[in-house]
Structure 1
């Protein structure tokens, strides 16, 4: 029955993609869907019911805006299935520590965001939503038809029941844990020969280097960048290496927000979500998205302000889709760290997301952080922690970093701690940053 549900959502998504030829008809359809969705949310979510009061659903575009802080603060009354924040966090953190991502709470899948903004977010997905998500993703991302044979290699920091849903039948799905050694990944890829390769751009860059050096001979039908901001230099390197266009998926805790069309343009998935634009600079077409996802009931996302900065495409996409076209997704550019190998032979490449996870797993009291690598053996960790918890938080961060280094087989660097205070300025904030030039011999990097 699950496969039937996925296939139905796949068919419905493909059908809808040809349904609208203009913005007006799309927006009229969205308005009806949102109004209907809000009626259910009012009944099932105490938080939204109180927040909205007696405001008219027809004026949903003016409802109060929430953000991650509000969602996490009111998590227990915002979700509609009675899942408590404390239990959800415990379940998600245990899954990350053990690398066993199968546990659920009842029939609800629990996930934990990567904490790009310095704090962790939880997401809840019901069985029905999980199946609908799988069908929509396959419809928008899969090369060719779902009836064809596909071998999907998916690299991410954490697996999930959500992702495993896409497998079955002629779809072979393999999760690649980013914490595993590169040599293991290369061996598995050589054996699998994926037709669809999905990974963060930092990993795609590593795989492209392996392809150029002859350690890989992959010829996937499609390559998709996920989870990190895609730097133009990385894009060019990856595309040149594999001889094809690099596609993107825009997804976060708040939903499956966008994907690229055949022309490589990112389109917001407006058959799933509505995006209102809060312009930062209208002349430059830069805005912050306010998202209303009218497909999720377990953890409703209504008028939710993201921290991302998007740049709207200046001219219509040649594909002709009326869905909002995005020129670029602004975000932190991830830096790779390099630590000396424990055995003294070469270097261990440490992905920024590993550092982020270690910091955020250390203490729930950390409200902001930055980690700067000044040398292979020296880190500076900036933490924003309330005074009573500061000494313990620093100890826990150091312990988490030590565990990470032990797992990866690299030497623990010297760590200096400083207090962090968020300041706006003209320099882009990077939570994880390497501040020294370093280009090790690829043969000496693990």
Structure 2
């Protein structure tokens, strides 16, 4: 299966139509129902149910039933102790039998465990290498910046790939000399780290020449994508991966597509005007910890246009962020969703560029920090946001402008976010 996955990722044409995708999903789930669900104590009696009748899962419910859902006989507390020991000791080599255990960051408020068998690790590596390995005939040097290492990521390492893990819990500046010594051909990191590296590349503090730059773990904003692309003179690819699996990847044309070869992703639409939806995942490759009817709180904006690459898998215009971080402004018809793209566009149209910014909705107020803003930027942006509110038929929140940047309490450095007491749609 790993070889097939590699070849599909490297040379496959993708699905030609929705009909082909649906037929592929139906065949994959027939196998999954027959071979995998009976091995899960939780799902054993549900193999004949329609997908929509399976229990609706989220991270909290998955973790509450972890011991019964997984097919490896691994107890939740044992897995959690293993994962926490790896986190605190920064030694990510220990396994439970042959199964690797990982722990999510918990930025959504719930830390999640994930498992990966040797087969699943090989499959993941085959998909990643097939899609993003620059040249098959040349040994690659991979720099991977993440909060935690895992045997899953180490599965990228082989005779043709030198894999180096850069621990995000260490001071960032300490990594620069080792990174320069590696001079990676493939650079993988969260968007904020790529942006920081891009700033140092532009300033001449580092001189890297990667042939692939891949953003992971965080939403890649257009501002950061432009900065990173200009600094390294290469298009930034994206891998949208959560604890629950690899949900989307950029294609050869540079567009983000849902990973419909390996998952079925249904939509819980939260805004009909934009089509914004939270994905509901059914993964027919994850055998160690079945992910079925699992709703994420990420918000995706679909792109209705066909992709030049020819693949019919759903294009994603952008990952808007977590559902709890979507801006909602009051209107006569009820709260209206205001996309981060609309806010970014208003800021991008200011007469003079900013060094950086933050927009935080608190209650019914909108707090805006403009770093190194020219005189009059507050007034110009206020007028632009008022125009946006009129266009949408919304009430503009009370605006409060600040200079500099707020203390950085957000580990993922989201420029636009909502604090818990903000107005909610329901």
On whether the aligned pair clears a TM of 0.5, the verdict is yes
Residue in structure 2 matched with residue 160 of structure 1 by the alignment: 150
What per-residue deviation string (whole Å, max 9, x for no partner) do you get for residues 16-71 of structure 1? x3263222112111111112202233311111235x3xx734x3244332111110
Q: Using a 3 Å threshold, how does the CA distance of structure 1 residues 376 and 234 change in structure 2: closer, same or farther?
A: closer
What per-residue deviation string (whole Å, max 9, x for no partner) do you get for residues 175-233 of structure 1? 11112233331111211111111001111111011101111111111111111111222
- Residue 164 of structure 2 is aligned to residue 174 of structure 1: yes
Q: Using a 3 Å threshold, how does the CA distance of structure 1 residues 375 and 83 change in structure 2: closer, same or farther?
A: farther
Residue in structure 1 matched with residue 130 of structure 2 by the alignment: 139
- Residue 123 of structure 2 is aligned to residue 128 of structure 1: no
Q: Distance in 1 between matches of 2:86 and 2:409?
A: 28
Residue in structure 2 matched with residue 308 of structure 1 by the alignment: 298
Q: Distance in 1 between matches of 2:110 and 2:14?
A: 39
**Conserved in 1, the CA contact under 8 Å of 2:201 and 2:231?**
yes
- Residue 87 of structure 2 is aligned to residue 89 of structure 1: no
Q: Using a 3 Å threshold, how does the CA distance of structure 1 residues 380 and 172 change in structure 2: closer, same or farther?
A: closer
Q: Distance in 2 between matches of 1:71 and 1:126?
A: 18
Where structure 2 has 5 or more consecutive residues not aligned to the other structure, the ranges are: 326-402, 411-418
**Conserved in 2, the CA contact under 8 Å of 1:141 and 1:259?**
no
Q: Distance in 2 between matches of 1:174 and 1:312?
A: 35
How many Å apart are 1:7 and its aligned residue? 4.6
What per-residue deviation string (whole Å, max 9, x for no partner) do you get for residues 346-398 of structure 1? xxxxxxxxxxxxxxxxxxxxxxxxxxxx99998999xxxxxxxxxxxxxxxxx
**Conserved in 2, the CA contact under 8 Å of 1:154 and 1:176?**
yes
Q: Distance in 1 between matches of 2:261 and 2:109?
A: 30
TM-score, structure 1 as length reference: 0.71
1:234-245 matches, within 5 Å, as: 234-245=224-235
Among 194, 197, 200, the alignment partner of 1:210 is: 200
Among 6, 11, 25, the alignment partner of 2:7 is: 11
- Residue 52 of structure 2 is aligned to residue 56 of structure 1: no
Aligned residues: 339
Q: Distance in 1 between matches of 2:37 and 2:204?
A: 57
Among 318, 330, 344, the alignment partner of 2:320 is: 330
What per-residue deviation string (whole Å, max 9, x for no partner) do you get for residues 115-170 of structure 1? 1211100001111111111111111222243x332111110000001101111112
RMSD over equivalenced CA pairs, Å: 2.6
Where structure 1 has 5 or more consecutive residues not aligned to the other structure, the ranges are: 334-373, 382-420, 428-446
Q: Distance in 2 between matches of 1:380 and 1:211?
A: 26
Among 1, 16, 21, the alignment partner of 1:21 is: 16
Q: Distance in 1 between matches of 2:306 and 2:405?
A: 46
**Conserved in 1, the CA contact under 8 Å of 2:14 and 2:311?**
no
Q: Using a 3 Å threshold, how does the CA distance of structure 1 residues 80 and 379 change in structure 2: closer, same or farther?
A: same
Q: Distance in 1 between matches of 2:27 and 2:177?
A: 50
Among 192, 206, 210, the alignment partner of 1:220 is: 210
Residue in structure 1 matched with residue 61 of structure 2 by the alignment: 70
1:425-436 matches, within 5 Å, as: 425=423
Q: Distance in 1 between matches of 2:48 and 2:3?
A: 36
Residue in structure 1 matched with residue 344 of structure 2 by the alignment: none
Q: Distance in 2 between matches of 1:272 and 1:262?
A: 18
How many Å apart are 1:289 and its aligned residue? 0.5
Residue in structure 2 matched with residue 191 of structure 1 by the alignment: 181
How many Å apart are 1:426 and its aligned residue? 5.6
Aligned to 1:250, the other structure's residue is in SS state: strand
- Residue 97 of structure 2 is aligned to residue 106 of structure 1: yes
Q: Using a 3 Å threshold, how does the CA distance of structure 1 residues 243 and 96 change in structure 2: closer, same or farther?
A: same
Q: Using a 3 Å threshold, how does the CA distance of structure 1 residues 108 and 233 change in structure 2: closer, same or farther?
A: same
Among 283, 298, 306, the alignment partner of 2:273 is: 283
Q: Which runs of 4+ in 1 moved over 4 A?
A: 5-8, 374-381, 421-424
